[in-house]
Chains A and B, each alone.
Chain A
Amino acid sequence: MDMTVYAVFFYIIAALIIVSAGMAITRKHMVHAVLYLVVSFLATALLFYLLGAPLLAVFQVIIYAGAIMVLFLFIVMMIRPAPAGERSLTAGRLAAAFGVCGIYVAAALVLAFMAAPEAGRPMAAAAASPFAFGFYLFDRHWLAVEMVSLLLLVALIGALHLGRAGRRNQSERKEPL
Protein backbone atom coordinates (compact mmCIF):
# COMPACT_ATOMS: atom_id res chain seq x y z
CA MET A 1 0.00 0.00 0.00
CA ASP A 2 1.55 3.24 -1.08
CA MET A 3 1.05 6.18 1.20
CA THR A 4 0.86 9.65 -0.17
CA VAL A 5 1.91 12.65 1.84
CA TYR A 6 -1.77 13.41 2.35
CA ALA A 7 -2.35 10.00 3.86
CA VAL A 8 0.62 10.41 6.22
CA PHE A 9 -0.76 13.74 7.34
CA PHE A 10 -4.18 12.23 7.83
CA TYR A 11 -2.93 9.50 10.14
CA ILE A 12 -0.81 11.92 12.13
CA ILE A 13 -3.76 14.28 12.56
CA ALA A 14 -6.14 11.45 13.35
CA ALA A 15 -3.79 10.19 16.06
CA LEU A 16 -3.51 13.70 17.44
CA ILE A 17 -7.29 14.10 17.57
CA ILE A 18 -7.84 10.76 19.28
CA VAL A 19 -5.04 11.18 21.81
CA SER A 20 -5.99 14.73 22.78
CA ALA A 21 -9.69 13.86 22.99
CA GLY A 22 -8.77 10.87 25.14
CA MET A 23 -6.68 13.09 27.42
CA ALA A 24 -9.49 15.62 27.57
CA ILE A 25 -12.11 13.18 28.79
CA THR A 26 -9.92 11.63 31.46
CA ARG A 27 -8.50 14.74 33.13
CA LYS A 28 -9.48 15.42 36.69
CA HIS A 29 -8.64 19.08 36.45
CA MET A 30 -11.12 20.80 34.17
CA VAL A 31 -8.76 23.48 32.90
CA HIS A 32 -6.51 20.71 31.58
CA ALA A 33 -9.47 18.99 30.00
CA VAL A 34 -10.50 22.13 28.18
CA LEU A 35 -6.96 22.79 26.97
CA TYR A 36 -6.68 19.27 25.57
CA LEU A 37 -10.00 19.82 23.91
CA VAL A 38 -8.61 22.93 22.23
CA VAL A 39 -5.77 20.82 20.83
CA SER A 40 -8.27 18.30 19.59
CA PHE A 41 -10.32 20.97 17.84
CA LEU A 42 -7.29 22.58 16.27
CA ALA A 43 -6.28 19.20 14.92
CA THR A 44 -9.81 18.80 13.58
CA ALA A 45 -9.41 22.12 11.78
CA LEU A 46 -6.26 20.74 10.13
CA LEU A 47 -8.23 17.66 9.16
CA PHE A 48 -10.93 19.81 7.59
CA TYR A 49 -8.31 21.59 5.57
CA LEU A 50 -6.91 18.28 4.44
CA LEU A 51 -10.37 17.06 3.45
CA GLY A 52 -10.93 20.07 1.22
CA ALA A 53 -12.82 22.47 3.45
CA PRO A 54 -10.55 25.48 3.98
CA LEU A 55 -13.33 27.87 5.00
CA LEU A 56 -14.70 25.38 7.49
CA ALA A 57 -11.20 24.92 8.90
CA VAL A 58 -11.00 28.64 9.51
CA PHE A 59 -14.43 28.63 11.16
CA GLN A 60 -13.40 25.70 13.31
CA VAL A 61 -10.41 27.64 14.58
CA ILE A 62 -12.28 30.89 15.08
CA ILE A 63 -15.57 29.64 16.50
CA TYR A 64 -14.79 26.30 18.07
CA ALA A 65 -11.22 26.50 19.22
CA GLY A 66 -11.47 30.25 19.69
CA ALA A 67 -14.82 31.43 20.93
CA ILE A 68 -16.44 28.32 22.41
CA MET A 69 -13.37 27.06 24.20
CA VAL A 70 -12.61 30.48 25.60
CA LEU A 71 -16.15 30.52 26.94
CA PHE A 72 -15.46 27.18 28.59
CA LEU A 73 -12.27 28.48 30.15
CA PHE A 74 -14.06 31.55 31.43
CA ILE A 75 -16.75 29.50 33.09
CA VAL A 76 -14.30 27.03 34.56
CA MET A 77 -12.20 29.82 36.00
CA MET A 78 -15.24 31.69 37.21
CA ILE A 79 -16.77 28.90 39.27
CA ARG A 80 -13.44 27.23 40.16
CA PRO A 81 -14.75 23.76 40.97
CA ALA A 82 -12.53 21.64 43.14
CA PRO A 83 -10.49 19.23 41.01
CA ALA A 84 -10.94 16.27 43.35
CA GLY A 85 -14.60 16.86 44.02
CA GLU A 86 -15.88 14.31 41.55
CA ARG A 87 -17.30 11.11 42.96
CA SER A 88 -16.77 7.85 41.13
CA LEU A 89 -19.75 6.05 39.70
CA THR A 90 -21.27 3.05 41.28
CA ALA A 91 -20.30 -0.25 39.69
CA GLY A 92 -23.79 -0.76 38.34
CA ARG A 93 -23.85 2.59 36.66
CA LEU A 94 -20.43 2.02 35.18
CA ALA A 95 -21.47 -1.36 33.81
CA ALA A 96 -24.59 0.12 32.29
CA ALA A 97 -22.60 2.92 30.67
CA PHE A 98 -20.16 0.50 29.09
CA GLY A 99 -23.06 -1.68 28.04
CA VAL A 100 -24.48 1.18 26.06
CA CYS A 101 -21.08 1.82 24.57
CA GLY A 102 -20.94 -1.84 23.65
CA ILE A 103 -24.18 -1.55 21.70
CA TYR A 104 -22.69 1.40 19.87
CA VAL A 105 -19.49 -0.45 19.05
CA ALA A 106 -21.46 -3.45 17.83
CA ALA A 107 -23.53 -1.22 15.56
CA ALA A 108 -20.38 0.44 14.24
CA LEU A 109 -18.72 -2.91 13.57
CA VAL A 110 -21.73 -4.25 11.72
CA LEU A 111 -21.77 -1.09 9.66
CA ALA A 112 -18.06 -1.49 8.87
CA PHE A 113 -18.48 -5.08 7.71
CA MET A 114 -21.47 -4.23 5.57
CA ALA A 115 -19.56 -1.44 3.81
CA ALA A 116 -19.30 -1.73 0.06
CA PRO A 117 -15.98 -3.15 -1.15
CA GLU A 118 -15.09 -0.08 -3.21
CA ALA A 119 -15.18 2.02 -0.08
CA GLY A 120 -11.64 0.79 0.54
CA ARG A 121 -10.13 2.81 -2.31
CA PRO A 122 -8.58 6.16 -1.38
CA MET A 123 -10.67 9.28 -1.89
CA ALA A 124 -9.71 11.79 -4.54
CA ALA A 125 -8.43 15.05 -3.09
CA ALA A 126 -10.59 18.07 -3.79
CA ALA A 127 -11.22 21.43 -2.21
CA ALA A 128 -14.25 23.69 -2.11
CA SER A 129 -13.23 27.31 -2.56
CA PRO A 130 -14.66 29.70 0.02
CA PHE A 131 -16.53 31.46 -2.80
CA ALA A 132 -18.20 28.26 -4.02
CA PHE A 133 -18.98 27.27 -0.45
CA GLY A 134 -20.48 30.61 0.46
CA PHE A 135 -22.46 30.80 -2.75
CA TYR A 136 -23.85 27.30 -2.26
CA LEU A 137 -24.69 28.02 1.36
CA PHE A 138 -26.68 31.16 0.63
CA ASP A 139 -28.13 29.83 -2.61
CA ARG A 140 -29.54 26.56 -1.30
CA HIS A 141 -29.67 26.93 2.42
CA TRP A 142 -30.67 30.50 3.03
CA LEU A 143 -33.66 29.44 5.10
CA ALA A 144 -31.48 27.24 7.28
CA VAL A 145 -29.06 30.11 7.71
CA GLU A 146 -31.91 32.32 8.89
CA MET A 147 -33.10 29.63 11.27
CA VAL A 148 -29.63 29.20 12.71
CA SER A 149 -29.40 32.92 13.23
CA LEU A 150 -32.72 32.80 15.06
CA LEU A 151 -31.43 29.89 17.11
CA LEU A 152 -28.36 31.87 18.09
CA LEU A 153 -30.57 34.79 19.07
CA VAL A 154 -32.71 32.53 21.21
CA ALA A 155 -29.57 31.06 22.79
CA LEU A 156 -28.32 34.56 23.51
CA ILE A 157 -31.55 35.58 25.20
CA GLY A 158 -31.74 32.26 27.03
CA ALA A 159 -28.19 32.55 28.34
CA LEU A 160 -28.87 36.10 29.44
CA HIS A 161 -32.04 35.10 31.21
CA LEU A 162 -30.42 32.14 32.93
CA GLY A 163 -27.54 34.29 34.08
CA ARG A 164 -29.90 36.83 35.64
CA ALA A 165 -32.14 34.19 37.13
CA GLY A 166 -29.16 32.48 38.78
CA ARG A 167 -28.00 35.72 40.32
CA ARG A 168 -31.45 36.55 41.62
CA ASN A 169 -31.82 33.16 43.24
CA GLN A 170 -28.43 33.47 44.83
CA SER A 171 -29.19 36.82 46.37
CA GLU A 172 -32.51 35.53 47.70
CA ARG A 173 -30.82 32.51 49.14
CA LYS A 174 -28.14 34.49 50.86
CA GLU A 175 -30.48 37.01 52.39
CA PRO A 176 -31.31 35.16 55.62
CA LEU A 177 -27.62 34.72 56.44
Chain B
Amino acid sequence: MIVPYTHVMLLGAIVFLMGMICTLTRRNLMMIIVGLEIMLNAAAIVFVGAGLEFGQIEGQVMALFIVAVAAAEVSVGLAMVVCIYRQTQSLDPQCTEDSRCPAGTEKASEPASGP
Protein backbone atom coordinates (compact mmCIF):
# COMPACT_ATOMS: atom_id res chain seq x y z
CA MET B 1 0.00 0.00 0.00
CA ILE B 2 1.30 3.41 -0.94
CA VAL B 3 0.29 6.80 0.34
CA PRO B 4 -3.14 8.32 -0.20
CA TYR B 5 -3.96 9.81 -3.56
CA THR B 6 -4.27 13.31 -2.12
CA HIS B 7 -0.64 13.27 -1.08
CA VAL B 8 0.49 12.65 -4.65
CA MET B 9 -1.78 15.45 -5.79
CA LEU B 10 -0.35 17.70 -3.11
CA LEU B 11 3.18 16.93 -4.26
CA GLY B 12 2.18 17.73 -7.83
CA ALA B 13 0.56 20.99 -6.72
CA ILE B 14 3.64 22.09 -4.78
CA VAL B 15 6.02 21.31 -7.60
CA PHE B 16 3.74 23.09 -10.06
CA LEU B 17 3.65 26.13 -7.81
CA MET B 18 7.45 26.18 -7.74
CA GLY B 19 7.61 26.07 -11.49
CA MET B 20 5.09 28.85 -11.70
CA ILE B 21 7.00 31.06 -9.32
CA CYS B 22 10.13 30.43 -11.32
CA THR B 23 8.54 31.44 -14.62
CA LEU B 24 6.90 34.52 -13.16
CA THR B 25 9.68 35.97 -11.05
CA ARG B 26 12.99 35.10 -12.66
CA ARG B 27 14.19 37.63 -15.18
CA ASN B 28 16.11 35.17 -17.28
CA LEU B 29 14.76 33.42 -20.35
CA MET B 30 16.60 30.24 -19.54
CA MET B 31 15.13 30.09 -16.07
CA ILE B 32 11.67 30.63 -17.52
CA ILE B 33 12.17 27.48 -19.55
CA VAL B 34 13.41 25.71 -16.43
CA GLY B 35 10.19 26.72 -14.72
CA LEU B 36 8.16 25.37 -17.64
CA GLU B 37 9.99 22.07 -17.34
CA ILE B 38 9.20 21.87 -13.65
CA MET B 39 5.52 22.54 -14.33
CA LEU B 40 5.41 19.85 -17.01
CA ASN B 41 7.09 17.49 -14.60
CA ALA B 42 4.46 18.23 -11.97
CA ALA B 43 1.75 17.45 -14.49
CA ALA B 44 3.42 14.14 -15.30
CA ILE B 45 3.56 13.23 -11.61
CA VAL B 46 -0.14 13.96 -11.23
CA PHE B 47 -0.99 11.90 -14.32
CA VAL B 48 0.96 8.88 -13.12
CA GLY B 49 -0.53 9.16 -9.66
CA ALA B 50 -4.05 9.37 -11.05
CA GLY B 51 -3.34 6.42 -13.31
CA LEU B 52 -2.43 4.35 -10.27
CA GLU B 53 -5.43 5.53 -8.25
CA PHE B 54 -7.97 4.70 -10.93
CA GLY B 55 -6.21 1.63 -12.27
CA GLN B 56 -5.90 3.16 -15.72
CA ILE B 57 -2.80 2.84 -17.84
CA GLU B 58 -3.99 5.99 -19.64
CA GLY B 59 -2.27 8.16 -17.05
CA GLN B 60 1.13 6.75 -17.93
CA VAL B 61 0.44 7.22 -21.64
CA MET B 62 -0.30 10.88 -21.03
CA ALA B 63 2.87 11.23 -18.99
CA LEU B 64 4.80 9.76 -21.90
CA PHE B 65 3.29 12.31 -24.26
CA ILE B 66 4.22 15.04 -21.78
CA VAL B 67 7.83 13.89 -21.96
CA ALA B 68 7.71 13.97 -25.76
CA VAL B 69 6.11 17.41 -25.88
CA ALA B 70 8.64 18.67 -23.36
CA ALA B 71 11.44 17.46 -25.58
CA ALA B 72 10.00 19.33 -28.56
CA GLU B 73 9.35 22.43 -26.50
CA VAL B 74 12.82 22.53 -25.00
CA SER B 75 14.56 22.13 -28.33
CA VAL B 76 12.65 24.96 -29.96
CA GLY B 77 12.72 27.10 -26.82
CA LEU B 78 16.44 26.79 -26.36
CA ALA B 79 17.05 27.49 -30.04
CA MET B 80 15.04 30.66 -29.65
CA VAL B 81 16.98 31.62 -26.55
CA VAL B 82 20.25 31.17 -28.40
CA CYS B 83 18.87 33.19 -31.29
CA ILE B 84 17.80 36.01 -28.99
CA TYR B 85 21.07 35.95 -27.12
CA ARG B 86 22.98 36.31 -30.35
CA GLN B 87 20.94 39.33 -31.31
CA THR B 88 20.79 41.18 -27.98
CA GLN B 89 23.68 39.71 -25.98
CA SER B 90 21.21 39.38 -23.15
CA LEU B 91 18.91 36.81 -21.60
CA ASP B 92 16.66 39.32 -19.90
CA PRO B 93 13.10 38.99 -21.22
CA GLN B 94 12.71 42.76 -21.00
CA CYS B 95 15.79 43.45 -23.03
CA THR B 96 14.26 41.66 -25.94
CA GLU B 97 11.17 43.78 -25.71
CA ASP B 98 11.59 46.95 -27.71
CA SER B 99 15.20 47.30 -26.46
CA ARG B 100 14.20 48.91 -23.22
CA CYS B 101 17.05 47.17 -21.52
CA PRO B 102 19.10 49.50 -19.34
CA ALA B 103 22.65 49.52 -20.53
CA GLY B 104 25.43 47.92 -18.57
CA THR B 105 23.65 45.02 -16.91
CA GLU B 106 24.42 42.08 -19.13
CA LYS B 107 26.45 43.68 -21.82
CA ALA B 108 29.10 44.85 -19.38
CA SER B 109 29.85 41.33 -18.27
CA GLU B 110 29.95 39.95 -21.75
CA PRO B 111 33.31 38.33 -22.44
CA ALA B 112 35.41 40.35 -24.81
CA SER B 113 35.30 38.67 -28.15
CA GLY B 114 35.77 39.73 -31.73
CA PRO B 115 37.47 42.87 -33.00
Q: Known: A37-B37, A86-B26, A125-B2. Contact between A162 and B82, CB under 8 A?
A: yes
Contact with B along A104-120 (1 / 0, CB 8 A): 11001000100100011
Q: Which of B30, B83, B91 interacts with A163 by CB under 8 Å?
A: B83
**Smallest Cβ distance from A83 to chain B, in angstroms?**
9
Q: How many residues of A contact B (CB 8 A)?
A: 92
| A126 in contact with B21 (CB, 8 Å) | no
A166 at the interface (CB under 8 A from B): yes
- With a cutoff of 8 Å between Cβ atoms, the chain A residues found around residue B115 in the complex are 177
Interface size class, chain B: 35 or more
Contact with A along B51-79 (1 / 0, CB 8 A): 11101010011011101111111111011
B interface residues, Cβ below 8 angstroms from A: 1-11, 13-22, 24-28, 30-31, 33-35, 37-38, 41, 44-45, 48-49, 51-53, 55, 57, 60-61, 63-65, 67-76, 78-83, 85-87, 90-92, 94, 102, 105-106, 109-111, 114-115
| A104 in contact with B20 (CB, 8 Å) | yes
| A10 in contact with B25 (CB, 8 Å) | no
Contact with B along A126-155 (1 / 0, CB 8 A): 101000110011001100100010011011
| B80 in contact with A162 (CB, 8 Å) | yes
| B28 in contact with A68 (CB, 8 Å) | no
- With a cutoff of 8 Å between Cβ atoms, the chain A residues found around residue B25 in the complex are 89, 94, 97
A interface residues, Cβ below 8 angstroms from B: 4, 6-7, 10-11, 14, 17-18, 21-22, 24-25, 30, 33-34, 37, 40-41, 44, 47-48, 50-53, 55-56, 59-60, 63-64, 67-68, 71-72, 75-76, 78-82, 84-89, 94, 97, 100-101, 104-105, 108, 112, 115, 119-126, 128, 132-133, 136-137, 140-141, 144, 148, 151-152, 154-156, 158-160, 162-163, 165-167, 169-170, 173-174, 177
The chain A residue sitting closest to B106, CB to CB, is: A85
